[in-house]
Structure 1
């Protein structure tokens, strides 16, 4: 049974049981600050489990893209080495929100596996929770009794808290679970060793394929459990593992989920992958297999993340995506000998495979390909640079062990993988101080943990059962009562309090727009609200202190100056999006935005730099619509399909409900939940301040509106006036500036010629000052030149004589610099090294430096140390 048919069969089966099929949520989460990525099928439904929202149906089924590479659930380092862990995987799910429970969920699971898919019942084992005295949760007798109707008791296994109590994190919804495992070994292997003993033992052919989680509890901050308002079912089935079972193979990578990707890698590299059925392969072939598994797994995770709007970057979720891709690149570089970008070529295969169920990978195929290709090229350059740096480290290492500190510097500063460092060192006869590297790595992790450490207390609920109402589209001020509060302590922000109101005018951060600020005012006090965010369908108001009387009636007041400025920028963003699509082409799509009171930032897909003329056209397009005084046409709750049919733009990577809010200014119509001006005239003016590249095929524009544009033009006028005054008020300012530039260019040429003559003169005179020290032509001197000229002089003198050893020092802008040239024959025959010389002599001037064995430079802070530099240089050649 092909993977696409298995997916369809699952969804159709649960549709027949009264479930509504819903699409996968984006793999990158934008409205849950507690999770970086969607790491499980239930993540998009958290608000329903917590009772903070109502689902469209009490029974839902889906296939969810999941990514487990950070936080509690992190499988990254296992990927490639075994045959069943993945970064991105599909989780087939069926969900009950306060509807059915164990007596329906377990029989349906058995029916689907054994009657629809016709899996061999004798290969299946089930597990139930044995209970926990620590949590005061009893043995799951009900699940045991249900399973006894279908499964012999010797294939029902008691599972402990680790294996059979599912928790998404340290806090939140959780509950006992009942898993289904399958034994895919041969009949002979099954006869020799019982599958029962291999369940949950990390055996590659005895694997969990279905997990029925019974959400009954909420884990509190103190570790205790409290009952959820209702009982839910959270079912997850590993799609890739199910395909393995259905296609009669013993590795996920031998299924048609991965074989087309593997075939493409084989075609590109000329290497062969051996299936899991082939035994006794060579060590070399095993390395090839691991590398190919890493690549075909990782390209899925990276491609879907980019398609959902998360570009590789140096921070946050973007850093994780970049790290996954770089892991794939280095496995190809090291074990498949791929020195040119090639992973991007797998995107077409992936789009063809999965485009039917996940249309975003098809529609974003070109962008994903471009971004991955550019990332590959960039990291391959980094690897080349890292190899060169590692060569220098080896040359400058006394002995044959490279310090962990140096290896960590390559890893941390330059992104050079530690396993590649170790491999190259071994090939060159060096060893690595692995303990020293691990020490440095743990120090960094400790710093990172300390910086991001957060402790969150449980909610203190003041008003039970209240459903929060957002009134901010119509009001910026209203009466409100506090319904719940909690304290959050983080290293980054200190102690903050999160406050939930029964109704609020405060807009929570979302859709690129920052959250509102303002105040809560009671009869006796005023509390500053410094930010507003949304989590699990709750609007959280952040404050540095709590009111003395949390039960008082408050007036919730939004800072209207800040909101007004943000709304101008947000509405201008919509107009600019339309302008870019009109002027550059309909291939332009929003790929990220930031809207705050100061400026707007807009990332979009486009293949080349936007020319100055095109930017002027975009400005004119937007300002024409501002001048046209277009009114806001807002529709709060219309069916999403109707909005799309009417021309509204939806953004990839955003999660929309069945009913949406549409914002329209003239021809511009987008799905948007943000705050906007009532009329484009309120924006006053729009001005682009910068345009540049973010990634391959992604450009970024920053722009300003309203008072910020006034300030911009005022500053421009003031600057122009100062320039005019400095130039003695010429009639034609531009002509005067051009004349200055011409004069400056002529003077630069004259200075360069004078410096050359000075260096030539010094070089000629200094040649006579060489002295013979043990057969080495030795010269050390302080000169009155700039740093760059001293460098040129050092090289010129050094090459003028054989067997030369030259050290020159100078002072520029009050800071000392030193340079060392050593003839290549001395480097080869005597083992002298200019980099080592500079590092040692640099200590006298409180500085450092480095370079090649034959030439190196350094800078310092202590000019008084130059004398010691000149005095000690001779020690290297005595």
Structure 2
């Protein structure tokens, strides 16, 4: 079967078992602080397992796009080395939320694999949890064992330890024993040598797990203990790529039609061949895998960057570029050319790939160009490290600096060193890397206690669209602690007017006031797995009393004005620039708004003026908001309401309309556009290839901006003696300044000519080289003119000039081209090394280069040390 048929047949099978087919959630997670990416099919259902939300259905099935770069059997640096692990993969799954349990899960899994997909029963093994003797003291999963014993021979049942057969969501949360189904794809000759039983979970490429059936029946508490969940759940996950390998009778995931179209395109654009060389094969597998992870992430709204989830995506893409650079000899961007093939192949199942194809191509191409420049720069820097090395071992600290500061891959450093007969101090490098990881972990780790439940709560408890104050009760709380935040408390209320951070809008702040007058400051509000959490530094003395929840009305008013303005801005951009414009991110607080959007070029001043005028016209029209709550998602789309890629929408959505602007949005908004008062763009620039960013202000911030502009204008006019036309006066000053600069240039050139004659007499001969190192009173341009004038009068000339300008030092080095060719002298290297005396650096060409520094006091030492290059 083709992969599309396999995916479809899986979903239809569980649909026939009364499961609701749900769409894949975005791969990039936005409302779960414990995860950057969806790494398992169950992530989008965590709120159900945690009991934060009543499930809309008791059974579900889907295929979920996932991303893993670490974890069991999987680390980024290992992907591509074998044939069955991936970064981005699809996980087929079926779930029961308090409905069926082990009996149905096991029987249906076996039915699908052996009766529907016709997999030979003899090549399948199953595992059950053997129990544990640690503090949990869990018994063997007898129920699962007895169920399997009725289906398969006992020699096909394997007992697995806690690592392999007890699944946990994290350090805390729902967990339980699991049964895995493994497949043995080896030849009969190989099977005769050793039983498949002995190769299960042993990382054998042809004996692999394809399906994991998790039986969630416990909750892991903060103190490490287990308690029974109030309901039992089923969470299964089957690797789509591995299933395709089995059903298409292949020995490698990469030989299935999930990957072969990509591999063929890689062969074409890199002029390489898969299946000839192991090094080439690994490189092609790395690229085929990684382009999927990167393209899906970009389509979901996550651009490569230097922090957080964006850093993970950049790291994955750079690894692919590096493998192409080293093993496929690709020195030009090529990975972006694979996106069209991927889109054609998977766009039907995941339409976001087709819709975002151009964006994916542009972003990947720019990242490739940037990193290839980094590789070129890194090769030069590595060469400098090698030149200065003492002995045959290169400092791990220097290699880490190259890796950490410049992004130069450590495996490429090690490869180049091996080719040069040199060793890398890996112990020193690993120590530096571990220190960095420890610093990062210490800064980000937050420990949370168990929830202390003190009351009942409602499933849908946000009332902040209509109220900024409400009588509330605390229903649960927990203590959390982080290195940055210190000790804090998270409170959950039975209902809340506080808007939780989401959709680009910051969370509300405010206060809880008890009946006795005690005030608890709410510092932030967030949503975690559909639970609205209020952050506070203090805990109320009496948690059982009623409180008055009061939102900071001023901040909410300014924030919602900015949020409504982003909707008008989006409409303006699509109207003026074209309907290719799509929102790619936003940030809205009480001070300003930030809006990222797809567009291929910088906006002109005229376009920016048009955008401002468009938005301010809508503000002036005083358009009333048209809000539809609890609208069916498909009905909203049918009405032409705009949805954003990468956002997770439920069955019921909220639509916001200001005139022709219609978008899905859960944020808070003004009742009338007139409340925004005025809209002013303060900056526009690039974020990534094809992505622009506008920052703007509204309301009180615009008033403050105008006041500041008037104050500045008054100050300028005062400096210009209250000129009636300050612009004309400034133009006159600029004209006058330009004329004086020209006169100064002429004077400096004359001065350089006179200096030339004086300095010719000071040139000395050292080892057959004409040498002069001297401090002169010229600017940088004068130093260059003087150097080249002297260069025309003498052969074999080595000049080092220095000057002090406005408290800073400048070095200028000129070396005759014959010395560059015959004596291996390099002006760029000279100024880089002598630049340390003036606490600076620089570079240039081999025959002329300059350096700048902040320490003029080091000039004399730099001049003195210039002789070392020719002595």
Counterpart in the other structure of 2:264 = 263
For structure 1, the residue ranges without an aligned partner over 5 or more in a row are 275-280
Q: Is the 8 A contact 1:396 1:833 kept in 2?
A: no
Cα distance in 2 for partners of 1:842, 1:608 equals 39
Cα distance in 2 for partners of 1:472, 1:436 equals 55
Higher mean alpha-carbon deviation, 849-858 vs 441-450, is at 849-858
Q: Is the 8 A contact 1:181 1:208 kept in 2?
A: yes
- SS of the residue corresponding to residue 232 of structure 1 reads strand
Count the aligned residue pairs.
869
Counterpart in the other structure of 1:484 = 476
Over the residues paired in the alignment, what is the CA RMSD in angstroms?
2.3
Q: 2:383 aligns with which of 386, 391, 395?
A: 391
Counterpart in the other structure of 2:163 = 162
TM superposition shift of 1:576: 1.4
Q: Is the 8 A contact 1:79 1:86 kept in 2?
A: yes
Confirm whether residue 189 of structure 1 aligns to residue 201 of structure 2: no
Cα distance in 2 for partners of 1:53, 1:99 equals 16
Counterpart in the other structure of 1:631 = 624
Higher mean alpha-carbon deviation, 22-31 vs 381-390, is at 381-390
Q: Is the 8 A contact 1:466 1:483 kept in 2?
A: no
Q: After superposition, give the CA deviation of every residue in 1:567-602 in whole Å (9 maximum; x if it has no partner).
A: 001111111111222222222111111111111111
Counterpart in the other structure of 1:278 = none
Cα distance in 2 for partners of 1:771, 1:653 equals 70
Counterpart in the other structure of 2:336 = 344
Cα distance in 1 for partners of 2:47, 2:481 equals 23
Task: Report 1:99-178 matches (<5 A).
Answer: 99-134=99-134, 135-178=136-179
TM superposition shift of 1:393: 3.6
TM superposition shift of 1:671: 1.0
Higher mean alpha-carbon deviation, 724-733 vs 694-703, is at 724-733
Q: After superposition, give the CA deviation of every residue in 1:91-149 in whole Å (9 maximum; x if it has no partner).
A: 00000000000011001000000000010000000000001122122100000000011
CA spacing shift, 1:715–1:25, aligned 2, 3 Å: same
Q: TM-score, normalised by structure 2?
A: 0.95
Q: 1:354 aligns with which of 336, 346, 363?
A: 346
Counterpart in the other structure of 1:55 = 55
Confirm whether residue 315 of structure 1 aligns to residue 307 of structure 2: yes
Cα distance in 1 for partners of 2:832, 2:341 equals 52
Task: Report 1:4-23 matches (<5 A).
Answer: 4-23=4-23
Confirm whether residue 702 of structure 1 aligns to residue 703 of structure 2: no
Q: Is the 8 A contact 1:49 1:228 kept in 2?
A: no
Q: 1:493 aligns with which of 485, 496, 499?
A: 485
TM superposition shift of 1:422: 2.8
Counterpart in the other structure of 2:202 = 201
TM superposition shift of 1:754: 2.5
Confirm whether residue 567 of structure 1 aligns to residue 568 of structure 2: no
Cα distance in 2 for partners of 1:751, 1:347 equals 56
Counterpart in the other structure of 2:396 = 404
Q: 2:672 aligns with which of 646, 668, 679?
A: 679
Cα distance in 1 for partners of 2:472, 2:561 equals 27
TM superposition shift of 1:261: 0.7
Cα distance in 2 for partners of 1:298, 1:271 equals 18
Q: TM-score, normalised by structure 1?
A: 0.94
CA spacing shift, 1:437–1:848, aligned 2, 3 Å: farther
Higher mean alpha-carbon deviation, 193-202 vs 708-717, is at 708-717
Cα distance in 1 for partners of 2:789, 2:380 equals 25
Counterpart in the other structure of 2:547 = 554
Q: 1:519 aligns with which of 511, 525, 536?
A: 511
Higher mean alpha-carbon deviation, 243-252 vs 535-544, is at 535-544
Task: Report 1:673-752 matches (<5 A).
Answer: 673-752=666-745
Cα distance in 2 for partners of 1:399, 1:554 equals 72
TM superposition shift of 1:829: 6.2
Counterpart in the other structure of 1:583 = 576
Q: Is the 8 A contact 2:512 2:519 kept in 1?
A: yes
CA spacing shift, 1:612–1:824, aligned 2, 3 Å: closer
CA spacing shift, 1:432–1:758, aligned 2, 3 Å: farther
Q: Is the 8 A contact 1:27 1:308 kept in 2?
A: yes
Q: After superposition, give the CA deviation of every residue in 1:265-292 in whole Å (9 maximum; x if it has no partner).
A: 1121221112xxxxxx6xxx11110111
CA spacing shift, 1:846–1:738, aligned 2, 3 Å: closer
Cα distance in 2 for partners of 1:796, 1:724 equals 46
Q: Is the 8 A contact 2:287 2:320 kept in 1?
A: yes
For structure 2, the residue ranges without an aligned partner over 5 or more in a row are none
Cα distance in 2 for partners of 1:662, 1:335 equals 51
CA spacing shift, 1:650–1:848, aligned 2, 3 Å: closer
TM superposition shift of 1:80: 0.6
Q: After superposition, give the CA deviation of every residue in 1:175-206 in whole Å (9 maximum; x if it has no partner).
A: 11000000000111112210000000000000
Higher mean alpha-carbon deviation, 453-462 vs 161-170, is at 453-462
Task: Report 1:426-441 matches (<5 A).
Answer: 426-441=418-433
